[in-house]
Amino acid sequence: MTEKLALLHPEILLFAAACVVMVIGLSKNASTRRLASLITGAALIGAFVLSFWSPSAGGMFPSLLPYAKATIAGVSFLLMLTLVGVVDRDYETLALKTGRFDPIRSTRGEFFAFYLFSVMGVMLCASADDLIWLFLALELTSLPTYIMVAMSSSKLRAQEAGVKYFFLGAFGAATFLYGFAMLYGATGTTMLPEMQAMFANAQASGDGLPTLAVMGLVLSVIGIAFKIAAVPMHFYTADVYQGAAAPVTGYLAFAPKTAGFLALLVLLSTVGWGWTASVESISTGGLPDAVRVVVWAMAALTMTVGNVLALLQTSVKRMLAYSSIAHSGYILVGLIAGPGDGGSIWSNGLAAVLFYLLVYGVTNAGAFAVLASLERREGRSGDPTDREVDSINDLKGMWSTNPLLCAAWVVCIASLMGFPPLLGFWPKLHLFFASISAGEVTLAVILAVNSAIAAFYYLRMIIAACIDRADETTSRKELSEYLTRPLAAFVSAALVIAMIFSFGALQKASRNAVQQGEVVATPAKNADMVDAQR
């Protein structure tokens, strides 16, 4: 237990900060309540620093923790800057006018505490080496977000999105939990390293993987598809993204996706893409056929459905929602390609997955920060709470009214498109080479075609902001009073450009993070698995 606690220093810091934030959110003093966001930001910076001192663990990927946790904490800090003012904006104004404060109606403390708890869950997914641990980490990531969506806006649409997100999330959790139960039934253990050793022995003896284990893996992948917004568990995405406030939507596009891919990374490594050299009798050859077919179909459909449906949207948030779905399809290609042959870094699909999550997180944070920074002067139907920029028409004329924000928007959207030489181009290229190296030429072609399709709606968003003039359909916009939002946009855009010059170092760091530990042969355990299967 002591060894496990040594892996959790960033999470312990975030937990302590969440407890403090919940308490000060109930203070009668407005200045004290405003400290909630400052404490949240400081905790995330502290977690980012502590991540680099995370020790190597004995799990599926011993060197994964520093890279994964630093990515999660860093991107979460950028997203936190946009969350300032999401809740209690109108209530705080009323409290200052009347001089009365009702702690029951104030939600600032709870909101930022939920945010920290969710970030903790994503980090815990990186250190998971047990099915129970993984399940709890995934749910800790998701459960706070259901509440964050519902409370992010006073509009009924946000509450509808929160309820829809909750019920579909419960369905996804039940699906992958059923898969976990099957894996336990096939192996008699919840420990992933032990499970990996049993599957290795089964492959070595020529018996193959038990049918119950394969079914469990397939169900687990389909259930976790909800977290990454992949087909067929993608239906909620556009409605939830549009219903939630833009800063919360930005977090939804990053955190559950990252948690889901980390979970898939450790789960699929139990059956392997070809075992390590320490098990000489096992030949390399990719994922088991049934699992590979499911993930392959999911990748192809996810990127295609996401991009095609994005073409039909007039809402920017719905476009970015379907864009998020498409990006999940791209990243799934890396999971199919696997770690490669250990030669060129460009053939390592798992490294491409981690690299892509980092780049997508930074770029996505910048795009949603721009949306959060702009507000329409008047809400629709006279509703003062409905001032959020959403329609593609709302972007028109941004270059003339807010040129710096427009520049940040262009950089981030072009990076999401994969426009060379911006940062977003390199992980896509990495995935393309990795899929070809793994023999997945058809999937590489589908990836390339979908990248071309995506360019249409990304350019549409850029043209609306930079070229189209404001007309009678364009609402008058003003800069948000919360200056941390444009700050997040500028920092993200600057990182997108600056990180171009260090993408090679980031690639190497991602490859080092997915170096697998040795598979230990345990014949006795394999016999137990066969007995359990019978």
Q: CA 69 to CA 51: how far, in whole Å?
A: 6
Q: What is the pTM of this model?
A: 0.91
Q: CA 265 to CA 244: how far, in whole Å?
A: 29
**Are 54 and 7 in contact, with CB atoms under 8 Å apart?**
yes
Q: CA 444 to CA 121: how far, in whole Å?
A: 32
Give the residue from 335, 316, 517, 289 showing the smallest Cα distance to 443.
335
**Cβ atoms within 10 Å of 381's Cβ, excluding its own:** 6
**Which are the contacts of 433, defined by CB distance < 8 A and separation ≥ 6?**
346, 347
The DSSP element (H or E) to which 374 belongs, if any, is strand 374-376
Strands (E), 419-504: 477-479
Q: What angle do CA 123, 126, 130 make, to 5 degrees?
A: 115
pLDDT one digit per residue (tens) for the chain, 534 residues: 567 777 889 999 999 999 999 999 888 887 888 899 999 999 999 999 999 988 876 567 888 999 999 999 999 999 999 998 888 766 666 666 666 766 677 788 899 999 999 999 999 999 888 999 999 999 999 999 999 999 888 788 888 999 999 998 999 999 999 999 999 999 999 999 899 889 888 877 777 788 999 999 999 999 999 999 998 888 888 999 999 999 999 999 999 999 999 999 999 998 887 633 333 333 345 788 889 999 999 999 999 999 999 999 999 999 999 999 999 999 999 999 988 876 788 999 999 999 999 999 999 999 999 999 988 766 554 444 457 788 888 888 889 888 999 999 999 999 999 999 999 999 999 999 999 998 899 999 999 999 999 999 999 999 999 988 877 666 667 788 889 999 999 999 999 999 999 989 999 999 999 887 655 545 444 445 545 444
**Are 133 and 60 in contact, with CB atoms under 8 Å apart?**
no
Per-residue model confidence (pLDDT) at position 474 = 66
**Are 467 and 376 in contact, with CB atoms under 8 Å apart?**
no
Phi and psi angles of residue 43, each rounded to the nearest 5 degrees, phi first: -65, -40
**Are 69 and 56 in contact, with CB atoms under 8 Å apart?**
no
Q: CA 217 to CA 267: how far, in whole Å?
A: 8
Per-residue model confidence (pLDDT) at position 273 = 78
Helices (H), 152-210: 156-187, 192-204
- Helices 316-337 and 211-228: crossing angle, nearest 10°? 150
**Are 328 and 233 in contact, with CB atoms under 8 Å apart?**
no
Q: What is the CA radius of gyration of the chain?
A: 23
Give the residue from 88, 237, 128, 111 showing the smallest Cα distance to 172.
237
**Cβ atoms within 10 Å of 239's Cβ, excluding its own:** 17
Q: What does 385-420 look like in DSSP terms, one character per residue? A: T--B--BGGGGTTHHHH-HHHHHHHHHHHHHHHT-T
Per the structure block, which two tokens stand in for 164?
Answer: 């829809």
3-class state of residue 375 by DSSP? strand
**Are 103 and 390 in contact, with CB atoms under 8 Å apart?**
no
**Are 401 and 531 in contact, with CB atoms under 8 Å apart?**
no
List own/partner pairs for 152-155 with CB under 8 A and 24 or more apart.
152/86, 152/87, 152/244, 152/245, 152/247, 152/248, 153/243, 153/244, 153/245, 153/385, 153/388, 154/90, 154/385, 155/243, 155/383, 155/385, 155/386
Per the structure block, which two tokens stand in for 382?
Answer: 């006279």
**Which are the contacts of 455, defined by CB distance < 8 A and separation ≥ 6?**
417
Q: CA 216 to CA 519: how far, in whole Å?
A: 21
- Helices 246-268 and 211-228: crossing angle, nearest 10°? 160
Q: CA 357 to CA 427: how far, in whole Å?
A: 9
Per the structure block, which two tokens stand in for 172?
Answer: 């996804």
Per-residue model confidence (pLDDT) at position 384 = 42
Q: CA 182 to CA 219: how far, in whole Å?
A: 9
Distance of CA 453 to the CA centre of its chain: 23
**Are 332 and 299 in contact, with CB atoms under 8 Å apart?**
yes
- Taken as a whole, the chain contains a residue count of 534
